[in-house]
């Protein structure tokens, strides 16, 4: 939610609760990895360069040889 706020995305626009507890329940479900709304949210966070995504990308680039 913090990353979404940093790049002016509203998780509710993707069908997710804004309540952290309810969002957590949804994100822990097995079906989340194929949820089109979740995948769209991840893509939009990456496209808008959310700070957490930039950090994760930098870490992965450091540990995975190219």
66 has a pLDDT exceeding 90: no
Q: What is the pLDDT of residue 43?
A: 96
Instruction: Output the pTM of the full model.
Output: 0.84
pLDDT tens sequence across 4-63: 999 999 999 999 999 989 999 998 999 999 999 999 999 999 999 999 999 999 999 999
CB 1 within 8 A of CB 11: yes
Q: What is the pLDDT of residue 65?
A: 76
Distance CA 35, CA 65 (A): 30
Going from N- to C-terminal start, the domains of the chain cover: 2-63
């Amino acid at each position: 939610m913090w990353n979404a706020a940093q790049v002016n995305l509203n998780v509710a626009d993707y069908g997710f609760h804004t309540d952290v507890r309810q969002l957590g329940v949804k994100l822990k479900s097995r079906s989340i990895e194929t949820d089109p709304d979740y995948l769209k949210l991840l893509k939009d966070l990456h496209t808008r360069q959310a700070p957490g995504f930039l950090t994760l990308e930098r870490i992965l680039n450091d540990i995975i040889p190219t």
